[in-house]
Structure 1
Amino acid sequence: MSSIISKTPRAAPRLLSWGALVVAGLCLLPMLAVLIAALTGGTDTIAHLADSVLGRYAANTGLLVILVSLGTFAIGVGSAWLVTMTRFPGVRLFEIALVLPLAFPAYVLAYAYTHVLDHPGIVQTSLRSMMGWGPRDYWFPDIRSLGGAAVMLVLVLYPYVYLLARASFLQQSGSTFMAARALGSRPLVAFWRVSLPLARPAIAAGVLLAVMETIADFGTVAYFGVQTFATGIYTSWFSLGDRTGAAQLALCLLTFALLLAVLERKQRGQAKYHDSSQGQKQHPPIELAGWQAAAALILCGLPVLLGAVVPVISLLSLGIGSEQDLFSPRYIGFVRHSLTLAGLAAGLTLVAAILLGYFQRMQPGRLASGANYVARMGYAVPGGVIAVGLLVPFAAFDNALDAWMRATFDVSTGLFITGSIWLLVFAYMVRFLAAALGAYEGGQARVHANMDAASRSLGKGPMATLRRVHLPILTPSLLTALLIVFVDVMKELPATLIMRPFNFDTLAVQAYRLASDERLDGAAVPSLVIVAVGLLPVILICRQVGRR
């Protein structure tokens, strides 16, 4: 009887239901606003864009997606298989160290490697000194190019593929791999024909996550001068003052992003496929020695070296010689603004995640599932698109309100909503709610349904059950969600650049501004602070990897 009671969902309170639906509706608002603004803006702008820059934006964005997909696949899958299926000196260290580049925004790596690889950098300076070359006597790859941007993105995004691929390899049974070996297949052949197909859904999900981050990136491509949809939206909005063009470019990027979101969800649904014998026998690790161990050490060490060690050394060398004082009143203001935005956004996003997650638990069905799906779509929408989608309707509201107040009371309200930090905090919530939902639902799986039944039998309502049963158990997951959103907001650049109130700059904006002025030594200081904060959730992930 108790099992029957435990599986019977209880109707969610009206306040909880409306709260969850309002959150989902607010998450849908920027996408609808972009769609309406783009379709009602006429065809003259999009025709002009098609004749001038649209093809370049599409080609650069598409090529960047292809390069990042191939790079993250190769590094993520290769390193995951080596640390999972083989044993070589330092393998335990690399299990954790391979996650570290996840703490670095791609634009920070762009600043660091420009200092190292640009014409006046240490690498080219040393080459000219050793070889006696003049400035025009040699060729060196240009870091400020589409290829350079792709490398920066690959170095910080491959951990998505690594984590998911490693988890899938760990769940696989060793029986199929050993059967392939018994039939005469070499380890690499068995990996290609057995292990890789079994892990395909998880790998595809990781690559798609990396691709979604790629199309959302603004700081890296803008600094390297690569024209993509993300930079085009910013240029149309600010440099050209063309709101219609920005909305239509945002619609193009939104369509591509939502297509990727659908593919990612489909792959995640297929990721349930694993060998049913996985609990019977684990794969015996392959002991590597000699040149094979050295090759594995190099293959796993290079991503960590290039994605974490070299950038930190480069930024430290720049920051030490800069005139930026982190403890000056101006920098304390940047830090305070960043912490304020990150704290408010993390708290609001966590509350929204609890509303949606608990609503789906209390009243499972199409309505709750649809609300959660809409809320998760924000992660696939670039920050620039969300910014345009929110500024268009709220700027119209501000203008209408100001006109009415002037006509009625002879008082100007100005930018009542768009001039505040709350619209920016709302944009962060839309962008990162999926991450908070994932952490919340991962912890909610530990709350057995019988606990709800026991709470109801003691006379506790749904909200009391949430407060006294769920939240204490979910505290670690809630803190993880809070920290992930906090750090993501600290690193976020495009929405902050477009929507920040006047004279309300953050560390990310300050780093971008100084780097745009070619003051890389100054940009290193706020970049190091962002990286230091970004290491917090990565440490949590590393601890989980270590326990596993």
Structure 2
Amino acid sequence: MALSNTLTRNSGQSGAPRWSFDPKIAGIIGAMICTLPIMALIPMAVSDGGGHFDHLIDTVLFTYSVNSLILVGSAMMGTTLLAIPTAWLIARYEFAGRTAAMVLLPLPLAMPSYVAAYAWLSMTTSGGVLSDYIPVVSGVAGAAFVFSICFYPYVFLLARQAFASEGSQSFEAARILGASPLQAFWTVALPIARPAIMAGVALVAMETLADYGTVDFLGSPTFTVGIIRAWISFGDPEAAARMALMLVILTLVFFGFERWMRRKRSVAQAGGRHKPYPRVALSRPAGLLALAICLLPTTIGLFVPAAHLAVLALEAPRLAPVWGALQGTVLLAASSALLATLFGLGAAYASRSGGALAKLSVRIAHAGYAVPGAVAALGVIAILGGLQSALSSVGGLTGVAIAGGGIFALLFAYQARFAAAAIGPCDSALVRITPTMDQAAQSLGASRFEILRKIHLPLASSGLMTAAALVFIEVMKELPATMILRPLDFDTLAISAHHFASDERLAQAALPSLILVGLGVPVMMLISWLSVRNTA
């Protein structure tokens, strides 16, 4: 195919103007970024290692597997129990404080789970403020509790949307036929919303499998802990790569399930027209009870641990230096958010192009979210190592690949892990742009750049902001990839907090942890506000 044909396309039927750069290329690039780290692990995994993998099989691999599965199952149940009642109350009823509760409920996503673990263990251990009332939050049970209070917004957001927009006519028919509100909920509303709920639960499973800081701190080792121990403690990249591929396979199972449930929900939505539930006004006592129920998850997932960390920071004899870590965090998070939004926008345009290759590339790029940070980091190391070997064979180029690593390696791993999070919001934003808008602008003589600047970007701005905000929060919280790939003497707030907490210096860990939360809450409130603006 000629170069000119590769770089141009006719988009009269896709809703996008005629671009000089083919968006399908963006989709292919996104797919490569997400798949190359995984593919690079395969040669490493099949090579002869240092013998540590056989030792791991005989000793701890079974424990890693059992802990991972127990935590996934427990987190799925815990998040469902917190998310479904609150989502139903927000979607179905009107009460004082409802809008505020709708904004507050997603905020625990701004609290890194390992930060919540620091706070809850400190509060419940011997001498803690809650030690006489609550069992010690540690081990597998403690990690499951922390995952439940930090990850439930994944289920809440999808369940609330489903409850608010689907099945109202069936619910009303059940009520007319004599079903009580509870019976109608169990037999009509909940089954209709099940695909959305299960998609959220699958996201919880993927986040649980990808976690390192929480399970390492609370003493419930999983696959991710094993990967990092094999890499850092044993110095055996082959054993780490083998466990990483095992973790990828397990995570991709949940990713495939999540995609299938989303498609099932889309088919159900396309099967008929749905009108929103008419919200029922509650009496004042019932409204206060509903508000209390809705505020409980945010209280235990954000307010209580943040308040305890603030007390620890104030009581600390010496505050930890955090300025350098703060700069590193903002630099990485902002740069990654910008890059991921650009990739997401390009992938969204590629998806709209209608080509089979473009759509396949975007689907592959979506799978990047299923790649845990530790796996992405090992894959990037394998890629840079291969590049180093290739360049070392060329005279005068020894060391170029290592010199080009560091921050570049981190950004590469972050894109492989989180660029997929930007595709969905960007794709949803472009749905608002119809082909007739572009055709009208072209008929008035607008250039391609003017159409992008005056039509596409303003209409897609909400989705682009959501995409950037999501990636900013995820990168800010990311711990395992940053631990493995960061340059020497380069810290982030997550690294600083984990370093102090691992040394049992929770008072010193409190300040970087609080700053992490302080950065994440306003960004998460922006996401909540954008969501409420569209659905309230």
Normalising by structure 1, report the TM-score.
0.88
Taking a change above 3 Å as real, the CA distance of residues 309 and 241 of structure 1, as seen in their structure-2 partners, is same
Taking a change above 3 Å as real, the CA distance of residues 324 and 386 of structure 1, as seen in their structure-2 partners, is farther
Query: 1:69-121, CA deviations, whole angstroms, 9 ceiling, x for partnerless residues?
Result: 11111111111112322455544432222222121110110011111111131
Three-state SS of the structure 2 residue aligned to 1:415 is: helix
Partner of 1:112: 119
Which of residues 324, 328, 337 is equivalent to 1:346?
A: 337
Equivalent residues in 2 for 1:199-348, closer than 5 Å: 199-272=193-266, 273-274=268-269, 276=272, 278-279=274-275, 282-283=277-278, 285=280, 287=282, 296-325=290-319, 330-348=321-339
C-alpha deviation, 1:174, in angstroms: 3.4
Query: 1:173-230, CA deviations, whole angstroms, 9 ceiling, x for partnerless residues?
Result: 4332233233332221211111100101111111111111111111100111111001
In structure 2, C-alpha distance between the alignment counterparts of 1:415 and 1:516, rounded to whole Å? 29
Partner of 2:373: 383
Partner of 1:122: 129
C-alpha deviation, 1:488, in angstroms: 1.6
Q: Which amino acid aligns with 1:35?
A: I
In structure 1, C-alpha distance between the alignment counterparts of 2:25 and 2:173, rounded to whole Å? 55
Query: 1:400-428, CA deviations, whole angstroms, 9 ceiling, x for partnerless residues?
Result: 53x446xx44975572233x211101111
In structure 2, C-alpha distance between the alignment counterparts of 1:7 and 1:516, rounded to whole Å? 52
Q: Which amino acid aligns with 1:268?
A: R
> Are the equivalent residues in 1 in contact too, given 2:64–2:226 (CA < 8 A)?
yes
Q: Which amino acid aligns with 1:26?
A: I
Aligned-pair identity (%): 36
C-alpha deviation, 1:542, in angstroms: 2.8
C-alpha deviation, 1:240, in angstroms: 0.6
> Are the equivalent residues in 2 in contact too, given 1:221–1:227 (CA < 8 A)?
yes
C-alpha deviation, 1:234, in angstroms: 0.5
> Are the equivalent residues in 1 in contact too, given 2:380–2:412 (CA < 8 A)?
no
Partner of 1:103: 110
Partner of 2:188: 194
C-alpha deviation, 1:449, in angstroms: 1.2
In structure 2, C-alpha distance between the alignment counterparts of 1:226 and 1:217, rounded to whole Å? 11
In structure 2, C-alpha distance between the alignment counterparts of 1:348 and 1:89, rounded to whole Å? 41
Which of residues 401, 417, 421 is equivalent to 1:435?
A: 421
Moved more, 281-290 or 169-178: 281-290
Q: Which amino acid aligns with 2:402?
A: L
Q: Please, which runs of 5 or more residues in structure 1 have no aligned partner? A: 128-139
Partner of 2:403: 416
Moved more, 203-212 or 175-184: 175-184
> Are the equivalent residues in 2 in contact too, given 1:85–1:286 (CA < 8 A)?
no
Instruction: Indicate whether 1:370 and 2:360 are aligned.
Output: yes
Normalising by structure 2, report the TM-score.
0.90
> Are the equivalent residues in 2 in contact too, given 1:6–1:449 (CA < 8 A)?
yes
In structure 1, C-alpha distance between the alignment counterparts of 2:17 and 2:400, rounded to whole Å? 45
Taking a change above 3 Å as real, the CA distance of residues 80 and 207 of structure 1, as seen in their structure-2 partners, is same
Three-state SS of the structure 1 residue aligned to 2:322 is: helix
Equivalent residues in 2 for 1:478-517, closer than 5 Å: 478-517=464-503
Partner of 1:132: none
Query: 1:107-142, CA deviations, whole angstroms, 9 ceiling, x for partnerless residues?
Result: 110011111111131223x67xxxxxxxxxxxx733
> Are the equivalent residues in 2 in contact too, given 1:37–1:244 (CA < 8 A)?
yes
Partner of 1:131: none
In structure 2, C-alpha distance between the alignment counterparts of 1:428 and 1:474, rounded to whole Å? 23
Three-state SS of the structure 2 residue aligned to 1:518 is: coil
Q: How many residues align?
A: 522
Q: Which amino acid aligns with 2:466?
A: T
Q: Which amino acid aligns with 1:387?
A: A
Moved more, 467-476 or 374-383: 467-476
C-alpha deviation, 1:467, in angstroms: 4.4
C-alpha deviation, 1:32, in angstroms: 0.7
Partner of 2:508: 522
In structure 2, C-alpha distance between the alignment counterparts of 1:58 and 1:206, rounded to whole Å? 23
Query: 1:474-503, CA deviations, whole angstroms, 9 ceiling, x for partnerless residues?
Result: 233223322221222111111001110111
Which of residues 48, 51, 62 is equivalent to 2:55?
A: 48
Partner of 2:43: 36
Q: Which amino acid aligns with 1:37?
A: M
In structure 2, C-alpha distance between the alignment counterparts of 1:85 and 1:172, rounded to whole Å? 11
Instruction: Indicate whether 1:357 and 2:351 are aligned.
Output: no
C-alpha deviation, 1:8, in angstroms: 8.1
In structure 1, C-alpha distance between the alignment counterparts of 2:257 and 2:397, rounded to whole Å? 53
Partner of 2:74: 67
Taking a change above 3 Å as real, the CA distance of residues 209 and 506 of structure 1, as seen in their structure-2 partners, is same
In structure 2, C-alpha distance between the alignment counterparts of 1:485 and 1:351, rounded to whole Å? 12
C-alpha deviation, 1:287, in angstroms: 3.4
Query: 1:228-249, CA deviations, whole angstroms, 9 ceiling, x for partnerless residues?
Result: 0010110000011010000000
In structure 2, C-alpha distance between the alignment counterparts of 1:344 and 1:54, rounded to whole Å? 37
In structure 2, C-alpha distance between the alignment counterparts of 1:185 and 1:232, rounded to whole Å? 51
Partner of 1:532: 518
> Are the equivalent residues in 1 in contact too, given 2:384–2:402 (CA < 8 A)?
no
> Are the equivalent residues in 2 in contact too, given 1:348–1:429 (CA < 8 A)?
yes
Q: Please, which runs of 5 or more residues in structure 2 have no aligned partner? A: 1-10
Partner of 2:154: 160
In structure 2, C-alpha distance between the alignment counterparts of 1:90 and 1:467, rounded to whole Å? 38
In structure 2, C-alpha distance between the alignment counterparts of 1:102 and 1:8, rounded to whole Å? 34
In structure 2, C-alpha distance between the alignment counterparts of 1:396 and 1:410, rounded to whole Å? 14
In structure 2, C-alpha distance between the alignment counterparts of 1:410 and 1:456, rounded to whole Å? 49
> Are the equivalent residues in 2 in contact too, given 1:155–1:307 (CA < 8 A)?
yes
Instruction: Indicate whether 1:476 and 2:462 are aligned.
Output: yes
Q: Which amino acid aligns with 1:446?
A: R
In structure 2, C-alpha distance between the alignment counterparts of 1:105 and 1:470, rounded to whole Å? 34
C-alpha deviation, 1:301, in angstroms: 3.1
Moved more, 239-248 or 265-274: 265-274
> Are the equivalent residues in 2 in contact too, given 1:87–1:288 (CA < 8 A)?
no
In structure 2, C-alpha distance between the alignment counterparts of 1:461 and 1:364, rounded to whole Å? 23
Equivalent residues in 2 for 1:167-178, closer than 5 Å: 167-178=161-172
Partner of 2:387: 397
Taking a change above 3 Å as real, the CA distance of residues 9 and 416 of structure 1, as seen in their structure-2 partners, is same
Three-state SS of the structure 2 residue aligned to 1:278 is: coil
Moved more, 55-64 or 439-448: 439-448
In structure 1, C-alpha distance between the alignment counterparts of 2:171 and 2:57, rounded to whole Å? 51
C-alpha deviation, 1:370, in angstroms: 1.2
What's the RMSD between the two structures over aligned residues?
A: 2.6
> Are the equivalent residues in 2 in contact too, given 1:398–1:417 (CA < 8 A)?
no
Taking a change above 3 Å as real, the CA distance of residues 464 and 296 of structure 1, as seen in their structure-2 partners, is closer
Taking a change above 3 Å as real, the CA distance of residues 323 and 51 of structure 1, as seen in their structure-2 partners, is same
In structure 1, C-alpha distance between the alignment counterparts of 2:262 and 2:168, rounded to whole Å? 23
Partner of 1:133: none
